[in-house]
């Protein structure tokens, strides 16, 4: 009989519970013993864990967050952290560790690997969609829906007051949430790091596009979706700059943590369930140190060490902008 462990790490994402459930039920199906480390790598280092059985995962599929708690763990970034993690895994006789998290969590897994005889399998769980090797991460679809809901409401106020809004969405260093929610909300502009070569000239282009739009139709609302950290200035500073330079009322709204929570949408529940089952099957086949993802509708595996390659993601993101007719200055082309 195998003994396996699960941890959820990094920013929590809706659908992590669905992944825990699927891994647990599939492992139990093979008569494996399952434990869950609490609070990400912290639980692993501190031997803080719980036994998982079918009762523990009953009816968790519909809840956001993670029953195992998620956390960041700075000790894992020290030379001793991964060695201790490997020691604990060996002491507890864990044959395979399932890590549900983002590329940072997978870097943690890669740091453990040289010291650990067992296996580690990754499942992409983050709202940011910033993991190479999968078209979509668990939590991304829900985060988009949450952002859309909020931006639509902001648009109502923008319409009523003939105002410009800068809406900041999450995404850490990646523009996927900004782009997908901008497309879905019909935003007039999207700003993310991937499309900015030179910030000063980008801002100048943005300001002249706004001025032009305002002069052509002063009664039209105007929504700019801004990815966090895309600019060196804050969303509030940008809205003040727009207000001053374009002589128009402009407000900033920062969506923040509401995008991380909430009941997962069907797409995330189904993706997490598929990836959870597949991850256990990969462990059974003894495939080592891979992440399971989905590309073009098919399950795929990617070496954990390659999950943080950004070039491929940037290409995908630019393709997406082009597909939906945003030009590379972030502005939707007029027909
Ligand atoms: P995400 O997994 O969502 O990308 P983070 O980047 O915050 O989130 O990473 C989550 C955790 O993974 C960190 O708190 C740390 O414990 C571990 N981790 C990240 N990078 C490394 C690294 N280079 N070496 C070891 N552990 C890491």
- Tell me the CA–centroid distance for residue 73 and ligand 1, in Å: 7
Q: How far is the CA of 105 from the centre of ligand 1 (A)?
A: 4
Active site residues: 128
Please tell me the predicted confidence (pLDDT) of residue 334: 45
- Which residue is associated with the tokens 């803080």? 48
Burial (CB count <10 Å: 0-12, 13-18, 19+), residue 296: exposed
Burial class of 335 by CB neighbour count within 10 A (0 to 12, 13 to 18, 19+): exposed
Tell me the three state secondary structure of residue 118.
Answer: coil
Element (H, E) at 109: helix 103-112
Cβ burial of 117 (10 Å; 0-12, 13-18, 19+) is exposed
CA–CA gap between residue 196 and residue 305 (Å, rounded): 28
**Does the beta carbon of 10 lie inside 6 Å of ligand 1?**
yes
Closest CA to ligand 1's atom 14: 72
Kindly tell me the number of DSSP H helices and DSSP E strands found in the chain.
10, 11
CB of residue 126 inside a 6 A radius of ligand 1: yes
The answer to whether the CB of 133 is under 6 A from ligand 1 is no
For residue 37 and ligand 1, the question of a CB distance below 6 A is answered with no
Phi, psi angle pair for 333, to nearest 5°: -70, 140
CB atoms within 10 A of CB 216: 9
pLDDT of amino acid 123: 98
Asked if residues 185 and 223 have their Cβ atoms less than 8 Å apart, the reply is yes
pLDDT at 335: 37
How many other C-beta atoms are found inside a 10 Å radius of the C-beta of residue 28? Answer: 16
Residue 200 Cα to chain centre, angstroms: 29
Q: Report pTM.
A: 0.95
Among residues 224, 10, 18, 41, which one has the least CA distance to residue 127?
10
Distance CA 44, CA 37 (A): 6
d(CA 57, CA 111): 29
Longest dimension (CA), the chain: 72
CA distance 95 to 118: 5
The answer to whether residues 102 and 6 touch, using CB atoms and an 8 Å cutoff, is: no
pLDDT attached to residue 216: 85
Give the C-alpha separation, 63 to 60, whole Å: 6
Along the chain (335 residues), what's the average pLDDT of each consecutive run of 10 residues?
Answer: 94 97 98 98 98 98 97 96 98 98 97 98 97 96 97 93 92 90 92 90 92 82 94 97 94 95 97 98 96 96 93 82 65 49
Nearest to 10 by CA among 180, 175, 170: 170
- The reported pLDDT for the residue numbered 213 is 87
């Amino acid at each position: 009989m195998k003994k396996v462990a699960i941890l959820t790490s990094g920013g929590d994402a809706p659908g992590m519970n669905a992944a825990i459930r699927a891994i647990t039920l599939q492992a139990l199906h093979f008569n494996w013993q399952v434990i869950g480390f609490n609070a990400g790598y912290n639980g692993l280092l501190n031997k803080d864990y719980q036994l998982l059985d079918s009762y523990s995962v009953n009816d968790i599929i519909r809840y956001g967050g993670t029953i195992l708690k998620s956390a960041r763990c700075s000790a894992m970034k020290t030379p001793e952290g991964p060695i201790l993690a490997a020691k604990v895994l060996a002491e507890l006789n864990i044959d395979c560790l399932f890590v549900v998290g983002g590329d940072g969590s997978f870097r943690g897994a890669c740091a453990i690997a040289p010291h650990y005889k067992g296996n580690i399998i990754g499942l992409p769980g983050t709202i940011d969609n910033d993991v190479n090797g999968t078209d979509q991460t668990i939590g991304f679809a829900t985060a988009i829906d949450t952002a859309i809901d909020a931006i639509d409401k902001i648009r109502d106020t923008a319409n009523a007051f003939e105002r410009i809004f800068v809406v900041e969405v999450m995404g850490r260093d990646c523009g996927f949430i900004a782009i997908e929610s901008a497309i879905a909300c019909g935003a007039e502009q999207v700003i993310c790091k991937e499309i900015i070569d030179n910030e000063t000239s980008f801002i100048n282009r943005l300001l002249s596009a706004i001025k032009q739009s305002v002069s052509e139709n002063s009664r039209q609302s105007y929504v700019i979706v801004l990815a966090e950290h895309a600019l060196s200035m804050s969303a509030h500073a940008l809205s003040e700059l727009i207000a001053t330079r374009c002589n128009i009322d402009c407000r900033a709204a920062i969506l923040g943590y509401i995008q991380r929570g909430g009941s997962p949408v069907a797409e995330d529940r189904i993706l997490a369930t598929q990836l959870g089952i597949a991850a256990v099957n990969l462990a059974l086949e003894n495939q080592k140190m891979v992440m399971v993802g989905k590309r073009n509708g098919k399950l795929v595996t990617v070496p954990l060490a390659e999950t943080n390659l950004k070039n491929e993601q940037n290409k995908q993101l630019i393709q997406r902008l082009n597909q939906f007719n945003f030009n590379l200055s972030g502005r939707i082309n007029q027909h």
